[in-house]
Chain A
Amino acid sequence: MGKLSRREFMSVSAKAGGLVLAGSMSPGFLKFARAEKKNEAYLKAKINWRQVEGEQIKVLVTPAHYFNKFRAVSPQFTDLTGIKVEFEIIPPREMREKAVLDLGAKTGNYVSHTGDPMFLSLYEANKWVEPLDEYINDPKLTDKVWFDLEDIIPLWRAADSVKGRLYGMPVEGEATIHIYRKDIYEKLGIKPPQTLEEFKESAKKAHKLDGKIAGAALRGFRGAGQNVYIWPSLFLAFGGKWFDDKGSPQVNSEAGVKSLEFYCDLLQNYGPPGVENMNWPEIMEGFAGGNIVQYIDANSTASIIENTNKSKVVGKIGYQRWPKGPSGRRVTSIWNWTMSINAALSRKKKVATWLYIQWLASRPTQFSSAVFKENQDAVVRTGVNRISIWSDPEYRKVIHYTPDYADVVLTSMRQDTDADWRPRVPQWPKIGEAMAVAIQSALVKQATPKKALDEANENIAKFMVR
């Protein structure tokens, strides 16, 4: 089930390219005939795509190549449905502020935004967004067989659900994986580490090999989306849990302290200088420039470090899943960009928004946008949301960085984490900030890991009471 045929693939991707030209110039009947053919993959869905024809929707989007691709293929949606989509592109932090402002004030200016799943609990608690199951289960709005929700990476759906109901649709995402210099490993006789302890050993062995290269890097920059994007994987791999059964925070448990000690020890001794200020772009550039032996971060960085124009280490890179922690678990991040329906909209606009989300998350659009080339140097999307596409040989061909890259990513996404990788509670923004401060103060030795986490735990307990 679920594979795109070669023909379907060819036609969808070719159309994505020719789309802009195809539209306006052809005479009426020809245009109609072309539209029919172009929309073939979508017209298989047994719904009326044109049910709210003439509506206009505005979506907040953050700058990213995958969203550029979504925007580039979206005229096809307008062609199919008669719904106009406008995009507003602003930096992520400002986008979130603006979205929360719009949702909170119920002004309904933006029908949806490229959201962070960690905020869905907050949205749900305030009834700012609509539960999607109502739209999915309405046969007038969704052809369930055609849409095939189950094909969308289950862990992402779990992460985008609150109290068992889906509130956001994953449209793009990533997993953190272990990315290392194969050539240096071979030179030093290091085997790809299977445990975090071996990972640290390998960093120690390779550190300053040429007097300069850093043994390993992880995000050190302070922020809920920076150092608190990496440490939770260590925390859970060490056997940690954010809350006990009674709901009291447990970040200063033994697993918490041990995992933070591991993180500090690794980065203080074998990390690059200034690692406390490094987010993933700096780490990626450091690796691409040959200054870092290995890192654990988003699989999407592969598209840059495997680009000969941007990287000195092409062909020398190995990929594998996270090494196992003392608890025996490998724990990857669970990140996806999620799209919800603003609850302050008119019914018609809600329907239009759902049609757009359904279209965007559907197999044909995910595929055509993944391989869309907005310019010569354009990279391929490495965060498609569907298992069937990840398993599709045509897709695998375009992300063939190494023979096992696609498997490493897909397996990580399917097996190596859980939805509660980070606490999905309305208080998350504050918790994230408290953890970011704790992790960094331990890293720069302002506090011992134990002390930093004790303080964070106390603060989190206070947030949870309120």
Chain B
Amino acid sequence: MAHHMKSKWPIFLRPVMVRSLYVLMILVWAFPVLWVILTSLKNRTEIFTLPPTIIFRPTIEHYIEALLAHDILKGIFNSLIVACGATLITLLIAVPAGYAFSRVRFPFRTRLSFFALLAQMAPPIGLIIPCFLFLSRFRMLDTYVGLIAVHMTLTVPFSIWLMITYFQDLPPSLEEAAIMDGVSLFNMFLKVALPNAWGGVGVTAIFAFIESWNEFLYAVVLTGSRTKTAPVAIFGFLAAEESRWGPFTATGVLIMAPVIMIALVAQGQIVKGMTMGATKG
């Protein structure tokens, strides 16, 4: 590929080409986000002006309205509880499981690690009916525990796999030294492997959090007025008589904000997490 480019473009033009490609790609990804942010700051008439305006006098009225709609703050609070709960329990399961799958020999190891992905192989819409019936039977519809449990069917499998790659990446020499000293398996995990894999745990936590935070399909069916999460609550602004894009997009920004902040803070780690499998080939 690189050779091909070299022959076609003069050397001094290449950085320019590459940069403009970067900018273009970022624009493609950022456009919807920017659009939502811009819309959330426009007044009602401006939102519907065609062609759309880029320069306008910003207003925060939609944010005030969004925060005053009691569903939204409560929704964000519910989302926090569910996403934090799901993330925490996911880590408690996935981190030791990841270590076990990568380092410990036990019967059916490969097959089990494969089956961990089973729940992800069916589209969620297919699993929603059994989930609904199950939660209904155990009176767990519209409870935090119910939704956290269901979200874990999404977060646990890929978290296990993420942790497997992290632990496999650790140099075996670390543990070999510990074995010489007669350290038990559990202590090896806790005192040798884990301290060297905190970065991986962090990335896994972020992915699990985002997955649960943004999840809509299960949340809309399995929650109710008590535990409705933010992605569900936001639809209150798309009413039958009128779609209120102002408060809708303002809430959208409020929902995106924590995710974007986490992403910015942990940028380097996330990129490492995403390319991990790739470098291993």
Contact = CB atoms under 8 A, between A and B. Distances in A.
A109 B141 contact: yes
Given A88-B228, A309-B44, 18 more contacts: A63-B235, A64-B239, A65-B242, A67-B240, A88-B224, A89-B71, A89-B236, A90-B220, A91-B235, A91-B238, A94-B220, A105-B132, A105-B133, A107-B132, A284-B242, A289-B48, A291-B50, A304-B242
B224 A105 contact: no
A304 B240 CA distance: 12
A140 interface: no
29 contacts: A58-B224, A62-B240, A63-B237, A63-B238, A63-B239, A64-B239, A65-B239, A65-B241, A65-B242, A66-B241, A87-B225, A88-B225, A89-B225, A90-B235, A91-B220, A91-B235, A92-B240, A97-B221, A98-B220, A101-B129, A105-B129, A105-B132, A105-B136, A107-B136, A109-B136, A109-B141, A289-B50, A301-B241, A379-B241
Tell me which of A94, A289, A300, A309 has the highest count of chain B C-beta atoms within 10 A of its own C-beta: A94
Contacts of B133: 105, 107
Contacts of B228: 88
B243 interface: yes
Tell me which of A63, A87, A94, A300 has the highest count of chain B C-beta atoms within 10 A of its own C-beta: A63
A288 B242 CA distance: 12
B48 to A, nearest CB: 5
Nearest to B71: A89
Contacts of A87: 225
Tell me which of A66, A91, A105, A304 has the highest count of chain B C-beta atoms within 10 A of its own C-beta: A91
Nearest to A281: B243
B221 A101 contact: yes
B232 interface: yes
A300 B240 CA distance: 10
Contacts of B224: 58, 88
A289 B129 CA distance: 44
Interface string A67-105: 100000000000000000011111110100110010001
Interface in A252-311: 281, 284-285, 288-289, 291, 300-301, 303-304, 309-310
Interface residues of B, number: 26
A92 B133 CA distance: 21
A108 to B, nearest CB: 9
A63 B251 CA distance: 16
Nearest to A58: B224
Contacts of B44: 309-310
6 A-B pairs closest in CB distance:
A64-B240, A91-B235, A107-B136, A63-B239, A94-B220, A63-B236
A29 B39 CA distance: 53
A221 B237 CA distance: 20
Interface string A231-252: 0000000000000000000000
B66 to A, nearest CB: 14
A303 B241 contact: yes
A303 B242 CA distance: 10
Interface string B62-99: 00000000010000000000000000000000000000
B243 A94 contact: no
B240 A63 contact: yes
B235 A300 contact: no
Interface string B202-244: 0000000000000000001100110010001001111111110
A281 B242 contact: yes
Contacts of A86: 225
Contact of A64 (B50, B128, B241): B241
A309 B61 CA distance: 14
A58 B141 CA distance: 13
Interface string B42-56: 001000111000000
A300 B241 contact: yes
Contacts of B141: 109
B170 to A, nearest CB: 44
Contacts of A90: 220, 232, 235
Contacts of A67: 240
Nearest to B128: A101
Contacts of B129: 101, 105
Interface string A305-335: 0000110000000000000000000000000
A277 to B, nearest CB: 14
B125 to A, nearest CB: 9
Tell me which of B132, B224, B225, B228 has the highest count of chain A C-beta atoms within 10 A of its own C-beta: B224
A88 B237 CA distance: 14
